[in-house]
Amino acid sequence: KNQVEQSPQSLIILEGKNCTLQCNYTVSPFSNLRWYKQDTGRGPVSLTIMTFSENTKSNGRYTATLDADTKQSSLHITASQLSDSASYICVVLNYGQNFVFGPGTRLSVLP
């Protein structure tokens, strides 16, 4: 069964600290993996998209990693800001053109 799991479910950190969010998937056949940021009451916004051959991709203070062998991905946020408070959703696309959404990690950055 195609599934995407994320951990932790929620996370609270202080402004300026780093954090890492985890994503495990069983989607097959794998096409690409995306991380989205979703502010409360808004639609998801793409942060990174990674294909099978990519191990790391950065977008400013966001760095995503992908291990296709273990089917794991992580999103590392450096020097967190208050505006980073949001839900972060891991999404995997299979070659059947089906997006499989993770449940998201709710990040709260406190001053």
Partner 1 sequence: SAVISQKPSRDICQRGTSLTIQCQVDSQVTMMFWYRQQPGQSLTLIATANQGSEATYESGFVIDKFPISRPNLTFSTLTVSNMSPEDSSIYLCSVGDRSGTEAFFGQGTRLTVV
One-letter amino acid at 24 equals N
Nearest-approach distance from CB 92 to partner 1, in angstroms:
10
Task: Output the smallest distance, CB 23 to partner 1, in A.
Answer: 12
Q: How far is the CB of 76 from partner 1 (least distance, A)?
A: 21
CA gap 80, 83 in Å, rounded = 8
Please, which residue, 13 or 93, has the CB nearer to partner 1?
Answer: 93
Sheet holding 4-7, edge to edge: 4-7, 19-25, 72-77, 62-67, 56-59
Residue ranges in the chain assigned as alpha helix (H): none
Q: Which residues bind partner 1 (CB under 8 A)?
A: 31-32, 34, 36, 41-46, 49, 89, 91, 93, 97, 99, 101-104
Mapped onto helix, strand or coil, the DSSP state of residue 82 is helix
Nearer to partner 1, 15 or 71 (CB): 71
